[in-house]
Chain A
Amino acid sequence: MSRSSTVILMGLLGISIAGFFILNLLLGSVHIPVDDIIGILLGRDDGNMIWRNIILKSRLPQSLTAMMAGAGLAVSGLLMQTVFRNPLAGPSVLGISSGASLGVACVVLLSGSIGGVALSKLGVIGEVTITLSAIVGSLLIMALIAFVAQKVRGNVTLLIMGVMIGYIANAIIGVLKFFSAEEDIRAYVIWGLGSFSRVSGGQTSVFIILMLLLLPVSFFLIKTLNLLLLGDSYAKNLGLNIKRARLWVIGCSGVLVAVVTAYCGPVVFLGLAVPHICRGLFHTSNHAVILPASLLGGASLALLCNLIARMPGFEGALPVNSVTALVGAPVVMWVLFNKRKNDV
């Protein structure tokens, strides 16, 4: 693909983000005129507090969260697919999101039975606790994976280890559920459905700042990622320290998933689908192109999914996970059908 068409496609992705972002602000179960939305965003105080609250406390943070989460998951999925040279790899394969779930399950499900207070009733403190426990859980699993990565040679072995760790985490969650109060289980299940609107108020800015700090780190890995495409032996011969490279890529990817999962729950599919869609669009494996493309594509697709989940009629009740899979899966299948043989 020529340089100019790459730039044009990149531009189109950028425009789609802007478009979906505006639609996310405009559309919703409550109709608010465009003029008033602009007024509210510019800080004009027109008096309608309800509209103000809807835009500033709901639609805007939700859109920003969706954008950042989508970008983070897509980049994380791309890193996983490259480091494991496996097109089916995604943020969830290494058990990192299971780790987050385990952390949340421990806190949510055990708080009732041990502390005597159901965390699901604690409001903001409960929310912060859930976020922290998800981050701690996924980082613990990631440390375990990173440790294993230093010990085992093959990528497939590491991949299987990750899947097994995920199974163990899920099994423990199952046991925890068995001993928990019904309302706690409900709180846990709702967290597990994934949502871009769970993040509220001050937490949104924390999440966005975290992502703005973390996403650029992946750009430092472009040369490493391109070398990893050649396979371990060629990469090593070209001067790459394979173990260190693996650790960096898995670490970067893992922290992104950890943070996104902590704030939005385990959002599936975006991480797996977006890199495939971008490879199909850009016809290249060069990470200097495909990494920014995935970032933009992830943000755009997440905004689209959020928009659909909020369509009139669903009233925001549709879980994000159902939408991401329903929108993403056909797109990936379309991309696969349309591409030339051996293109994956």
Chain B
Amino acid sequence: MKRDETIKVMGLDTGYLDRKHTTVITRDINASLFSGELTCLLGPNGAGKSTLLKTLTAFLPPLKGDILIEDRPLDSYSESDLAKVIGVVLTERLNINNMSVDELVGMGRSPYTGFWGHMSDYDRKVVAESISLVGIDGLRGRMVQTLSDGERQKVMIAKALAQETPVIFLDEPTAFLDYPSKVEIMLLLQKLSREKNKTVFLSTHDLELALQIADKVWLLDKPHGVTVGTPEELALNGAISTYFQRDGLAFDIENRLFKILGLK
């Protein structure tokens, strides 16, 4: 499948703009995302992963630089246009009750439905397909508040799929999950990027998992900015070791695993 450059970031500074002062979190990011690829954003706590994701999804304005989405500047998109290009899955735990999985995934169709939010046959078909693709057919009638964290995450991914966007951004989709569920979600996202040619971009703390599954990795660190490469490249050129190595922790390049050395 053809891999197109869907998102291009040039000279981007991210951070928060207050009335009086600006807080810059990360400086001068230059990188791109491609369709059909699963890209992981890695970095220590406080490196600015969430801030970067929020900036790329237009929740935060960029402090400097340009973001091109499908060759159009991000700020030229209206809210409703952007809703058809980027779908998001957030870390914030949903606080919704008495809404069924079907209804919640159906909300993903809102950018396409009319004034009253009435769903056409096509809308229903997309919702059903999204639910099947994520493998939660058995949960369709369940209320959202009765689901486990992993199930809920899959529902939100199905919502993003129902949105039919070429790009899906996920902020730590594997946090709060047990290991098998983490692997399941990552494999699911990999499958979506392959089968649906989606651009999938996610932040995560699960280094080893990311290095084994991701097509590309963005390493984010305050002093270095963003370093982009395939997991092999980054492992071999020592970038990963520099980013994450601490006293008592070593990166085994061959197996892409971290080793705890113990205290000296």
Q: Please list the residues of chain A having a beta carbon within 8 angstroms of any beta carbon in chain B.
A: 85, 220, 222-223, 226-227, 229-231, 233-234, 236-241, 279, 283-286, 288, 342-344
A343 to B95, CA, bound (A): 11
Complex CA–CA separation, A222 to B110 (angstroms):
12
Check A240/B79 contact, CB under 8 A, given A231-B94, A342-B145, A343-B98.
yes
Assembled-state Cα–Cα distance A241/B81 (Å): 12
CB closest chain-A residue, reference B108: A238
Cβ contacts A to B, 5 pairs, < 8 Å:
A85-B95, A223-B113, A227-B107, A237-B87, A284-B98
Whole-angstrom CA separation of A236 from B111 in the bound complex: 10
Whether B110 contacts A223 by the Cβ 8 Å rule is yes
Residues of B within 8 A of A284 (CB): 98-99
Please give the distance in Å from A287's CB to the nearest CB on chain B.
Answer: 9
List B88-107 residues whose CB lies under 8 Å from chain A. Answer: 88, 90, 92, 94-99, 103, 107
Judge whether A238 and B163 touch: CB under 8 Å: yes
Name which residue of chain A comes closest to B84, CB basis: A239
Residues of B within 8 A of A85 (CB): 95
Given the known A-B contacts A223-B117, A233-B90, A343-B97, are A239 and B145 also in contact in the complex, defined by CB atoms under 8 Å?
A: no
Q: Are A238 and B117 in contact (CB under 8 A)?
A: no
Cα A288 to Cα B117 with chains together (Å): 9
* Number of chain B interface residues as a range: 20 to 34
A239 & B111 in contact (Cβ 8 Å cutoff): yes
Contacts of B79 in A (CB 8 A): 236, 239-241
- Asked whether, in the complex, the Cβ of B97 is within 8 Å of the Cβ of A233, the reply is no
CA distance A238 to B87 in the complex (A): 8
Partner of B107, one of A220, A226, A241, A279: A226
Bound form: Cα–Cα A344–B96 in Å? 9
Q: Which of B162-179 contact A (CB under 8 A)?
A: 163
- Cβ–Cβ contact A230 & B57, under 8 A: no
In the complex, are the beta carbons of B92 and A238 less than 8 A apart?
Answer: no
Min distance, Cβ B35 to any Cβ of chain A, angstroms = 19
Contacts of A343 in B (CB 8 A): 97-98, 145
Cα of A226 to Cα of B110 in the assembled complex, Å? 10
Q: Is B115 an interface residue (CB 8 A)?
A: yes
Q: Which of A226, A227, A233, A240 contacts B92, CB < 8 Å?
A: A233
**B83 within 8 Å of A by Cβ?**
yes
- Indicate if the CB atoms of B83 and A223 lie closer than 8 Å: no
Q: Which residues of A contact B82 (CB under 8 A)?
A: 237, 239
CB distance from A148 to the nearest CB of B (A): 16
- B145, A230: Cβ atoms closer than 8 Å: no
For the complex, give the distance between the alpha carbons of A237 and B85 in Å: 10
A240 to B96, CA, bound (A): 18
**Cβ B95 vs Cβ A285 within 8 A:** no
Known: A286-B103, A288-B117. A234 touches B95 (CB 8 A): no
